[in-house]
A and B are shown apart, each in its own frame.
Chain A
Amino acid sequence: MTNFIIRRLIQSFVLLFFISILIYVILNIVPGGPFDQLRFSNPRVTQTHIDRLNAMLDLDKPLFPGQYCPMVNGVQQPCRFDQGRYVRWLVKVFRFDFGDSWTMQVGTPVLTLIWRRLGYTVLLMGLSTVLAILLAVPIGIYSAVKQYSIADYVATTLAFFGQSMPTFWTGLMAISIFAVALGWLPTGGVRESGAEGDIIEALMRVLTFGRLYPELAGQEGKFILDGLRHVALPVLVLTYFNMAAWVRYTRSSMLEVLRQDYMRTARAKGLRERVVILKHGLRNALIPLITYLALILPGLFAGAIITESIFSWPGMGRMQIDAITNVDWAVVQGLLVIQALLIIFSNLLADVLYAVVDPRIQYS
């Protein structure tokens, strides 16, 4: 097992290296940097201005190690060797420094931007994932145990629907029904306009026993309730979408277990059906679900791009879209590399957990 983990860690490291090159190349081979649009919006901006801005961001240097022949005020300078932007960036990434934002908030470290948004995404994704699993696993089990009953057909059909409804549709429909027509919930955002705090700040204050956000004293409950009202619709949309997959996983895993020999043995021993299903069936059916559980991790960080942008939720998903439209590659690179890291890590975690829970699995 230890050998397996070590080998996989080394492989992951190599994989991550290639991924970082690929991400860097995809982002940087595009003609026109982040300041190209400046020229259209402001005709007084000249090429010299843009060159100077590019030089500030190191964008005049070559991508990979090679010759660098700078032009200063139109005069060709002697060429010299440059290690390239990629290498410089990679060295900084090893120290967990993703550089500063280019255009979104010029000069702010990418990690600071991430910290500001992460709470909102973890809240949204966490709530919807936990709710989806809590609802879907019992439904999936029931539907497998009562296979071909009406309840089973309803559950599988609803799961099919959930997988076929894109979140950008269910999201807009949820807004037009629950926010516009019925007026029960807000259409988007995290807080009432003019509120001086929001749910994340209030939660941070509670979690740090009042050390952070002292100005919110006594109002935590109000802000948390208001935040829950705002998060309700996006959570509803994501929960339904995630539930569909979880119902299907649970159902098929349970069906697989139900026809095993040890189930028949348990019944033959004279155990009550409840005990057979819950103790012998369920515990084995949950094993494959652990894999899916580990694969949630990247989503907790990356957020839901579409849902967050429909509901103007200021999380990581919205940040990705904003960074892409603003050509803020410093932010995008950071986000993508961290996401890839988490995807690799959660894949490894899933494999290891699987072996830990199921003694039949052995890696050599």
Chain B
Amino acid sequence: MSATSITTEALKLEPVATEKPIGQWGLAWRRLRRHKLAMIGLVMLALIVFGSLTAEWIAPYGFETQDLDRTYAPLFAPGAPGRPMHLLGTDSLGRDVASRLLYAGRISLSVALTVTVLTIITGTLIGAVSGAFGGWVDMVGMRLTDVMLTLPQLPLLLIMSSSLRQFAQLQKFLGSNLSVAIIIFVLVVFGWMTVARLVRGSVLSLRGLDYIAASRALGASESRIILQHLVPNSLAPIIVAATLGFGDVIIQESALSFLGFGIMPPVPTWGNMLNAARGAPLEYLFTQTLSPGFCIFITVLAVNFIGDGLRDALDPRLKL
């Protein structure tokens, strides 16, 4: 290949550069859109969120409407004369399972979202303070993280959620939302460590990098360095961790509710519906178990797909 052909090649390519430049996030979105599983996950999650948000309008029954003539109805069972069909059957009190699943999704998803947001905030604060201040502050922060990571999680979640219920003042203050508030609190207390480590790590490593020093040498202000370089570069792993964490929170919340330590009936969640299914006579176990568990499975699967896609899209250096 001669030198002239290279120059013409370069000249041909030039018009592309005059197009509107694609930023880091635009590139990431492009890569994410090519990730088939992540797109499937996004569609699945969008459907689930839509279904739960519009539960009032699309659910054929209320979540507490009972039809005592039709308990443990099978899938596709007809409703009372003039009432809609029980698409997914009814439970022990004759409540429509499909409607309850929609309302339950609302609780499970909003608990998971709240926990994830609070986890990111707490983790970022602790991690950033540790990384920025260093010294004994860092020591205390990181030893605390170690301690929390070493504690056996599930038993302590069970203990704390059953213990906090004993505090009478909390009960008076929060009323029937108590079990929801407790679950959010304990899941945040045991969930912030991953984010804290990530944030601390990236604050420490980015501070010493050449391009930070370079932009400082070019006269960039401290706030510009933070907003232009530190935040975008440490955001990617946090977003991935938070997405995958969202799935974990859904599983943890439903596990606690399943074991009877989580969100209490009559508030329906997928977990406590499964707990109720456990008490059903054995011949009804399959129909009672199938749909609530499937909702958890499909939601977590969707989130895991998205998380996997995000990891590939946001951090091309990290393959799998």
A residues apposed to B, CB below 8 Å:
15, 18-19, 22-23, 26-27, 30-32, 160-161, 163-166, 168-170, 172-173, 175-177, 180-181, 187, 251-252, 255, 298, 302, 305-306, 309-310, 320-321, 324-325, 332, 335-336, 339-340, 343-344
Contacts and interface: CB of A to CB of B under 8 A. Distances in A.
Q: Which 5 A-B pairs have the closest CB atoms?
A: A169-B293, A176-B286, A164-B301, A164-B300, A30-B163
Contacts of A26: 156, 159-160, 163
A252 B301 contact: no
B305 A169 contact: no
A175 B258 CA distance: 16
Given A160-B305, A164-B304, A324-B162, A172 B278 contact: yes
Contact of A305 (B155, B289, B300): B155
B258 A168 contact: yes
A173 B258 contact: no
B144 to A, nearest CB: 9
A136 to B, nearest CB: 16
Contacts, number: 127
B247 A164 contact: yes
A173 B289 contact: yes
Given A169-B297, A172-B278, A175-B285, 9 more contacts: A18-B147, A19-B150, A22-B147, A22-B151, A160-B37, A172-B289, A176-B289, A180-B285, A324-B159
| B-side interface size class | 35 or more
B254 interface: yes
8 contacts: A15-B150, A19-B147, A19-B150, A27-B159, A164-B297, A305-B158, A306-B258, A336-B155
Interface of B: 37, 143, 146-147, 150-152, 154-156, 158-160, 162-163, 166-168, 247, 251, 254-255, 258-259, 271, 274, 277-278, 282-283, 285-286, 289-290, 292-294, 296-297, 300-301, 304-305, 308, 319-320
Consensus secondary structure, chain A interface: helix
A344 B147 CA distance: 10
Given A30-B166, A166-B255, A305 B154 contact: yes
Contacts of A164: 247, 297, 300-301, 304
A328 B7 CA distance: 80
A309 B155 CA distance: 13
B320 to A, nearest CB: 4
Contacts of B159: 26-27, 324, 332
Contacts of B154: 305
Contact of B320 (A255, A302, A324): A255
A18 B320 CA distance: 36
Given A164-B301, A332-B159, A336-B151, A309 B286 contact: no
Nearest to B252: A166
Contact of A335 (B146, B151, B155, B290): B155
A165 B274 CA distance: 13
A322 B292 CA distance: 26
Nearest to A187: B282
A15 B146 contact: yes
A170 B271 CA distance: 13
B160 A31 contact: no
A240 to B, nearest CB: 13
Contact of B304 (A160, A166, A170, A173): A160
Given A181-B286, A321-B259, A172 B277 contact: yes
A319 B259 CA distance: 14
B254 A340 contact: no
Contacts of B151: 19, 22-23, 336, 340
Contacts of A177: 286
Contacts of B166: 30-32
